[in-house]
Amino acid sequence: MASAAHEKNDATAARLAPQVQPMDSIAAGPHKEARVRFQIANLDFFYGAKQAVFGLNLKIPASKITALIGPSGCGKSTFLRNLNRMNETIRGTRYTGEILLDGQDIKRMDVVALRRRVGMVFQRPNPFPKSIYDNVAYGLRINGYSGRLDDLVEHSLKRAALWDEVKDALHKSAFALSGGQQQRLCIARALAVDPEVLLLDEPCSALDPVTTAKIEELMFHLKDSCTMAIVTHNMQQAARASDFTAFMLDGKLIEHNETSKLFTTPQDPRTEAYITGRFG
Amino acid sequence: MSTATTPIDRAAPPESGPRALFHRLRHGDEVAHVVTLTFAALILLITTLLVFELWIRSAPTRGKFGFGFFWSGVWDPIGGNFGAIPFIYGTLVTSILALLIAVPLGLAAAIFLAELAPRKMSDTIAFLIDLLAAVPSVIYGLLGIFVVVPLMRTTIGPALKKTLGFLPLFQGPNYGVGFLTASIVLTIMVVPFIISVSREVLLTVPREQREAALGLGATRWEATWKVVVPWARTGIMGSVFLALARALGETMAVTMVIGNDPKIRESLFAPGYTIAAVIANEFNEATSDLHRSALIELGLVLFLITFILNGLARLLIVATERGGGHS
Amino acid sequence: MNRLRLIWRKSLNVVMLTLTGVAAFGVVAVLFLILGYFIWNGGTSLNLDFFLKLPRPEGEVGGGVANAIVGSLKLLFLAAIIGLPIGLLAGVYLAEFGGKTFSFVVRYTTDLLNGVPSIVIGMFAYSLAVVPVKHYSALAGGAALGLMVVPITVRATEEFLRAIPTSLREGAMALGASKWRTIATVVVPAASGGIITGMLLALARVAGETAPLIFTALGNQYWSPGWNQPISALPLVVYNYAISPYDDWHRQAWAAGLVLLTLVLLANIGCRFVINRRGVRSV
């Protein structure tokens, strides 16, 4: 299964962006040339006159989980929302710099097509007031996919590790589910359109530890076919669940490294201060 | 694992390519914007048209009488002589009298609901009072004719004559219909508005205000009357204006009990006329264009007065919600 | 001296607070009095004849208000198809698309329209729909009522749309839905409970209106086929019968009033109950 997904990835990537960027300074472990999904260069982001992100440079590698950590208000959620241009829904925002998805500038892409390729899961579960089935099928329907919805819905719910719990109640309201189930439903909904990247904005902050563990486990199974970037204020989660971690402070990227390296041998004193809990 | 695992082709959506998709969706957003904007603009158009029509169709009398229309007390459709005074008088007298009774009554009830009653009781009673506000005008009119008018003739009128008969207000023959009856019916119709708005306004007064007064040893009444109500003063004024606007424009109930006599009289027992009532009664049978034009001009006057009152009312209510009763 | 003053203050307190309670319960009592009077005076007249027969000629006893009931329904239907779409779409504009100044103007004008006395609306409808064709009609009446439906619908639509949380909209947009799609497939359905209730309340309000009908629909003793003829309506019947000199018509006025009152109150009770309980979730 994993290799098939890999092959599909390769084929897709080759078709879309012949110029894939290898991760240069960061050794990517067993893969000689790890591909980069997102390349962010010199990103400055503004809420009106107020600047929230300063000169951010980052590469988000494909098929890996990248965690964004940092104290409240450091700009990690703001940055994440730039990746699928969600900040555009707020008036008065703008950014300078480059954000490339597989080598293409996302500013020039059709925003709707971008959001199909880059999905998002939000902090609080936000299922639509529709049935479980209709929630998952929503993205499929609006993108014009008809026929065989049943199979696709089932597939997504399985990827989100929710199928067994809801398979007999697909036409019940989404609100009948518990908080943790609703969040997994939102993940299934996002996965239904088969995004290349999934952005997760503190997806477990409103959930209990058992559900959190379930979600982390499904993320692990997903990452081969779906690159993930997760914002989290929970350092243990970052340490457990991610391959790479980026630490942000006051709108700037302080340090970015393989998770194990960042947590055991942080290069920057501020990183060290944060992860040892001296502030946060 | 189902066999249908062929994932969706990520790169090319099934529509005719990304470009076409882009145009179509963008187009949809703009179309929606334009369509809804058109309907919103339609409201503006209709309202402007309303004022325009009133203005145009009252041209004959405006041209003939000018401002004299508002000075003249003669209403003679056959002779072609029209004046607005009796109707303005009647409208004002009935509405103001109604408010004089309704405001204390309504405010008292609102105070009870906002300050004294437990939440559930307050909500239930407020709900019932909202229902009163929804009762159609013609229903009040029917009650007016068959309940209030006889009551006025047999009970209330004589009682008032005995006690206050020395005032010219309460002298003269009492047929049951007239200014006083109309005012009473209006009072009942207008009280629910005052209660409903005042209650909401009183509920927004911060607890600390009340508690500060009580902490200084005030009785509950004193705290309410001297601190809470003044704080909500502007909003309550707003509710009064709203009620006044409603009373001025009230047609059916008043028409049925006012007596339909276009004269200015001292006695409250006398029959009278209001702007809305004369329009309702005479419009269909209007004997000439001039007659109709006079009625329309009266309607225009009514429109302007209620427009100004409603505008002021809203400002006052918003002002209270923003900053309390500091004038 | 101080003790006297304290006793005065305390008694005043009790008296005033009691008076406020009396006022509140008194006003509520009026509601029940009204209902009582109507049931007492009109209840006995509610027989099958009343609902199924046409009115008899003036002065004769008997007959019913079948044409008025049908007339009211036809007028409400017209009011709905004229006023509800305008109200809904304008409400969507204000909640989802509006620019600051234009929205303010529209909202203000809508409030203004709401406050226009219904008789003036009647004159306007007369001017637009009766004068050009030189006859009264159900259409004109429906237009007048439709116009009155608009402001209430706009306000309800805007309010309930605004209450839908941004997270729901963002959820849809993150899946690639465009703005209009999000509105049409997620936001409006989510707010539909409240919006529909608002619409029903608007219709209940105009169902009881008489003044705008006096010079548009006019009233009719017989059935009114089609939409282009004068038509009867319950409120018109109540009015005309009440001011007539005939006892039998008075009796029927009470009965018609009872029917009207019951329908209006039931609609209001139902709708307000729904609004109070459910807020905006429409699942």
Chain C nearest C-alpha distance from B288 (Å): 14
Helices (H), chain B: 18-57, 59-65, 85-111, 119-134, 137-143, 149-151, 157-164, 179-203, 207-215, 220-223, 229-231, 233-249, 252-257, 275-282, 289-323
The token pair that represents A259 in the structure block: 């998770």
Identify all chain A residues contacting C174, using CB atoms and an 8 Å cutoff.
84, 86, 115, 119-120, 122, 190
Q: Which of the two residues, B238 and C149, has the higher pLDDT score?
A: C149
What pLDDT is recorded for position A91?
Answer: 82
Round the average pLDDT of chain B to a whole number and report it.
86
Instruction: Please check whether residue B42 touches C, CB under 8 A.
Output: yes
**Interchain contact, C117 vs B251, CB within 8 Å:** yes
Highest mean pLDDT among B102-106, B162-166, C97-101 belongs to B102-106
What pLDDT is recorded for position B172?
Answer: 84
Mutate to test the interface with B, among C18, C27, C183, C243 (most CBs of B within 10 A): C27
Nearest to B113 among C16, C24, C94 (CB): C24
Residue of A nearest to C281 (CA): A129
What pLDDT is recorded for position B321?
Answer: 67
What pLDDT is recorded for position A254?
Answer: 93
Round the average pLDDT of chain C to a whole number and report it.
90
Residue of C nearest to B142 (CA): C242
Q: Which chains touch C (3 or more CB pairs under 8 A)?
A: A, B
**Interchain contact, B221 vs C16, CB within 8 Å:** yes
Amino acid at C147: L
What pLDDT is recorded for position A98?
Answer: 92
Domains of chain A: 2-275 (3.40.50.300)
**Interchain contact, C176 vs A112, CB within 8 Å:** yes
Identify all chain B residues contacting C36, using CB atoms and an 8 Å cutoff.
none
Low-confidence ranges of chain C (pLDDT < 50): 280-283
**Interchain contact, A112 vs B1, CB within 8 Å:** no
CATH superfamily of B65-323: MetI-like (1.10.3720.10)
Identify all chain C residues contacting A142, using CB atoms and an 8 Å cutoff.
175-177, 181, 185
What pLDDT is recorded for position B323?
Answer: 62
- Tell me the sheet residues that pair with A39: A59, A100
Integer Cα distance of C18 and C79 in angstroms: 45
Percent residues over pLDDT 70 in chain B:
89
Angle B179-203/C2-42 helices, nearest 10 degrees?
120
Residue B15 reports pLDDT greater than 50: no
pLDDT digits (tens, 9 = 90+) for B194-229: 999 999 989 988 888 888 888 888 888 888 888 888
pLDDT digits (tens, 9 = 90+) for A80-138: 999 999 998 888 899 999 999 999 999 998 888 899 899 999 999 999 999 999 999 99
ipTM of the complex: 0.89
The beta strand positions in C209-262, using DSSP E, are none
What pLDDT is recorded for position C281?
Answer: 36
- Report the 10 Å Cβ neighbour count for B304: 12
pLDDT digits (tens, 9 = 90+) for B287-299: 888 899 999 999 9
Residue in B264, B259, B282 with CA at minimum distance from that of residue B72: B264
**Interchain contact, B14 vs A144, CB within 8 Å:** yes
**Interchain contact, B42 vs C90, CB within 8 Å:** yes
Instruction: Please check whether residue C165 touches A, CB under 8 A.
Output: yes
Helices (H), C183-246: 188-207, 211-214, 234-243
What pLDDT is recorded for position C221?
Answer: 87
Mean pLDDT confidence for B129-136: 92
β-strands A118-121, A197-201 pairing: parallel
**Interchain contact, B14 vs A113, CB within 8 Å:** no
pLDDT digits (tens, 9 = 90+) for A28-49: 444 445 789 999 999 999 999 9
pTM for this structure? 0.83
> What are all long-range contacts of C11-16, with beta carbons under 8 Å and residues at least 24 apart?
C12/B219, C12/B221, C13/B219, C13/B220, C13/B221, C13/B222, C16/B221, C16/B225
Q: Consecutive 10-residue runs of chain A (280 residues): their mean pLDDT?
A: 48 40 40 75 93 93 94 92 90 91 91 90 92 93 82 92 92 92 94 93 90 91 92 90 93 93 91 82
Chain C nearest C-alpha distance from A115 (Å): 5
Integer Cα distance of C209 and C202 in angstroms: 11
Please name the helix (run of DSSP H) or strand (run of DSSP E) that holds residue A76, with its range, or none: helix A76-82
Nearest to A155 among B2, B13, B22 (CB): B2
What SS3 state is found at B262?
Answer: coil
Domains of chain C: 48-278 (1.10.3720.10)
CB B321 within 8 A of CB B235: yes
What SS3 state is found at B79?
Answer: coil
Residue in A233, A139, A141, A135 with CA at minimum distance from that of residue A181: A135
Instruction: Please check whether residue B1 touches A, CB under 8 A.
Output: yes
Please name the helix (run of DSSP H) or strand (run of DSSP E) that holds residue A37, with its range, or none: strand A36-47
